[in-house]
Structure 1
């Protein structure tokens, strides 16, 4: 595709250069009236050249692709025009040699060393023909020799640079692939211990601990949350920079999405002494829910960091034909000179006691990149000591999706829920089992996804269960053995977008490790409600 674009660009450039040459020859004819008839054949030829070039460009657009003979024909077309101009123009046409060198290098830069060699050979043949048939060039042998040497040396040096550049590009590509593999593996391996520590901490929180020990657990949980947020930010930056995200839009209940963000941040808000307020709305939009959630999550996290002890309001406004998500805080605010810089990586507005505010300064950079990816604009309005308003613009309201009516929600309890837990990491298996049992679930733990036999109500599986079977395959096997679609979820340390794409047709929920216990509990409760609704329907 890039080569096709290069060929179209070359055809466009051919038209531009030939038009400039025509203007140049017309100027010569005007300022040298006594030799005007000498330039007339050249002007006529260049006009014909432009006419043919237009059709050549149309052919490239009509039949895109790599056609060697068409490119060779284009070269002969270019050099024929240059030869004609040099042969008939004499000394006054000498600057057109620049076009010959330009065409030669252009073919090499656009299409590679093979075409550079062909172009150089044709260029040398063009100069020889001009020297052979034009008396003026016969009288300038040293100039002819200089042009011949230049036509050889410059493309040869360009070819050396091209090969070095290509080699450096390949080495960079290999290094980037190695870095991708390293980050993918490091991502998975680091998520596992963070995930298990979070679950163990949640178990301790539910235990009857004295106040001092509970405060220590709270501090551990808070520090772990910070590590998790930094870890996710670094991975998000890497993923966005490498263009690995391909957003798929779908109808989204905006109120439900914002409620989920508020729920996920309730604990962090409690630590910061912030009251999170959400103004309900009834809008539906077409957007990628995961990316929009990450975008809003980062804006809310910023508000919690810099507006400690103050309320934060989240709402949706209609402005003309678009919807705007707004997040207000009454924090310290941002001075006007800092506003243009805050979306840069690692940029943080420095205040006194800033050492108490965690973060790397990546949140707003991620926000801007995600916004650009899904076609949204993020704006900040702030006044020092008065607060900040972040607005996300560009969402369009769509007709609400009609949900099937469900019975009243069941009690928010998991007592007696039979869970089949499949996890090959011993620590994660132990931590998840302990937490689920604290919530009243009956847990069957399996460290291997092969031949799992269970009578469970719900399956929770890691996606990566070794080389023999994946979590999705394990769930499919259990469902086939049971003869019905058992509710299931996958908790994974791999890239969420890729795993969601792999299981999109299998009705499996996907959670990214490290999973926060409230998030896991919310998904389980939702599954319990769905199962209760299905029983009532039967």
Structure 2
């Protein structure tokens, strides 16, 4: 029999749903038990063959009843019929099982009057087995077994009257039917207990199924919400990056102009505001890159002290502005890891420590632990409650920023640090005491050999003048008019020959007039065009590899992964002018 899972309503489990499952279980058990009872009937008839034609008639009736059961299960039964009317199917079960009970009970009636001394005990054992088997067969719906035993008892009572009337005076034979009745009544008590167990099991399974369904719905909702979050962040980040990217170039151009002291002060404030906006967008970018899985660790041997000192140079001034004590303990150890990722992890941990420390200071140091070195970031902040030690590594969680002060970031630093740490095979852990501060740790493998170049610490950006070719011709394909104008002006002022276009077709036309030494393309252009396609078409038209930079504001994990697969450097908006010029110099130097 095939078995469909019961429908689980959202409201309390109904009696009808329970009854459907009870009837279904009994029908399944009856179908399995039919073959056993058929073989038992044949065995009984073979043992009692000396009873002559009455036992043959009894066997024929038993075989007919079993065949009727098989026919019902094969052609006249369906799961749908139970679903439609479980009570009617329960009554049908009762009526169909009563003849089986009468058939077994009549066995004692047939043989008792002429049985040999050994046959009555044999028949009693068989009848006890038939009645006891009903506990498992009908246990899910005790009233079916009740009807079975009632029919059995009625026939046994008639057998007792018959034996008494026939003048049987052997008490072991005469009272055997009454003994069977008492045994059947006692067995039914077990059936009631089994019935309650079946009911509780059904209710528990229904409850579990409902919980699983709700959990699946919640997981789907969470996945949908997470996908929507990524899509929203990517769209918002892209739209914000465009004007901020253009603003950075215009501020760089403005910085080279003649300005009064007041104007330079205003320019400085504007650059600070731009830097704060860029830092938040960069946090979203780091988060998306970690989500996309495009960060591939490139381990190498380098002195950990180089990373610690570089972090101090970059953000130590932030601690000075807050009047915090900042100290780095020198460590001469060599480690084997990706220096860029180690720096990013440290940058997030140290920035977080400074951001949430109002007095005291921050200490960065290392400890040797066997074949590894543990990097530790100590702070004297307010500390983190024990029940929040895992929560703070979640996305957008900020325990110490209820007012959502954007100067305190977006709540992504620790989440990014943990993701990056796992990418290089380590884990960021936390020890914290409320009111006394926190310690964030991660370990790295020690290296025995010194690096070939002691300057292989975190990657150094090329300077604006590294391998610069002032006479180089650069083609810019950018669909945003403001960015196109700003980028063109910045590159011309730097000394490059520049042609700025809006579409791929215009770019190909420009390249036919003068082949570019470098192409700078926005990844996402209008009308579904793609900057990567533009570079491929340019290279095919010119017949050689043309240097290329892809600049994009895309931060959706899928788009980042797609861009990372291209044979060209990818820069993410907003790109500071000095970083853009350094990337141009690197590409031209190739």
TM range (shorter): 0.5 to 0.7
The separation in 2 between residues aligned to 1:349 and 1:364, in whole angstroms, is 14
Report the counterpart of residue 137 of structure 2 in structure 1.
128
Relative to structure 1, the CA distance from residue 281 to residue 142 in structure 2 (aligned partners, 3 Å threshold; closer, same or farther) is closer
Kindly indicate whether residue 298 of structure 2 is the aligned counterpart of residue 250 of structure 1: yes
- The answer to whether the Cα contact below 8 Å between 1:199 and 1:432 also exists between their aligned partners in 2 is yes
Which of 542, 550, 553 is matched with 1:490 structurally?
550
Instruction: Say which SS state the counterpart of residue 489 (structure 1) adopts.
Output: strand
Report the counterpart of residue 185 of structure 1 in structure 2.
235
Alignment of 1:136-535 (within 5 A): 137-234=187-284, 236=286, 244-245=292-293, 247-252=295-300, 254=302, 285-287=336-338, 291-302=341-352, 321-322=371-372, 333-334=380-381, 344=392, 345-348=397-400, 358-360=408-410, 362-378=412-428, 392-397=442-447, 411-412=465-466, 413=468, 415-450=470-505, 452=508, 453=511, 454-495=514-555, 501-502=561-562, 506-528=566-588, 530-531=589-590
Instruction: Say which SS state the counterpart of residue 516 (structure 2) adopts.
Output: coil
Report the Cα offset of residue 379 of structure 1. Answer: 6.6
The separation in 2 between residues aligned to 1:281 and 1:417, in whole angstroms, is 43
TM, length-normalised to structure 1? 0.57
- The answer to whether the Cα contact below 8 Å between 2:135 and 2:191 also exists between their aligned partners in 1 is no
The separation in 2 between residues aligned to 1:234 and 1:431, in whole angstroms, is 24
The separation in 2 between residues aligned to 1:167 and 1:280, in whole angstroms, is 51
Report the counterpart of residue 36 of structure 2 in structure 1.
none
Relative to structure 1, the CA distance from residue 471 to residue 371 in structure 2 (aligned partners, 3 Å threshold; closer, same or farther) is same
The separation in 2 between residues aligned to 1:410 and 1:239, in whole angstroms, is 26
Kindly report the root-mean-square deviation, in angstroms, between the aligned alpha carbons of the 2 structures: 5.2
The separation in 2 between residues aligned to 1:292 and 1:497, in whole angstroms, is 22
Unmatched segments (≥5 aa) in structure 2:
1-27, 34-82, 84-133, 140-144, 150-182, 454-461
The separation in 2 between residues aligned to 1:164 and 1:481, in whole angstroms, is 57
Instruction: Say which SS state the counterpart of residue 250 (structure 1) adopts.
Output: coil
- The answer to whether the Cα contact below 8 Å between 2:135 and 2:190 also exists between their aligned partners in 1 is no
Alignment of 1:44-55 (within 5 A): none
Report the counterpart of residue 111 of structure 1 in structure 2.
none
The separation in 2 between residues aligned to 1:146 and 1:387, in whole angstroms, is 57
The separation in 2 between residues aligned to 1:181 and 1:341, in whole angstroms, is 28
The separation in 1 between residues aligned to 2:465 and 2:573, in whole angstroms, is 27
Report the Cα offset of residue 361 of structure 1. Answer: 5.0
Report the Cα offset of residue 349 of structure 1. Answer: 9.1
Report the Cα offset of residue 220 of structure 1. Answer: 0.9
The separation in 1 between residues aligned to 2:311 and 2:556, in whole angstroms, is 17
The separation in 2 between residues aligned to 1:307 and 1:263, in whole angstroms, is 19
Instruction: Say which SS state the counterpart of residue 460 (structure 1) adopts.
Output: strand
Report the counterpart of residue 157 of structure 2 in structure 1.
none
Relative to structure 1, the CA distance from residue 281 to residue 311 in structure 2 (aligned partners, 3 Å threshold; closer, same or farther) is farther
Instruction: Say which SS state the counterpart of residue 443 (structure 1) adopts.
Output: strand
Unmatched segments (≥5 aa) in structure 1:
1-74, 81-116, 118-124, 532-538
- The answer to whether the Cα contact below 8 Å between 1:283 and 1:400 also exists between their aligned partners in 2 is yes
Report the counterpart of residue 75 of structure 2 in structure 1.
none
Relative to structure 1, the CA distance from residue 141 to residue 317 in structure 2 (aligned partners, 3 Å threshold; closer, same or farther) is closer
- The answer to whether the Cα contact below 8 Å between 1:333 and 1:388 also exists between their aligned partners in 2 is yes
TM, length-normalised to structure 2? 0.53
The one of the two structures with greater contact order (alpha-carbon pairs below 8 A, sep at least 6) is 2
The separation in 1 between residues aligned to 2:401 and 2:438, in whole angstroms, is 13
The separation in 1 between residues aligned to 2:336 and 2:477, in whole angstroms, is 36
Instruction: Say which SS state the counterpart of residue 138 (structure 1) adopts.
Output: helix
Report the Cα offset of residue 228 of structure 1. Answer: 2.2
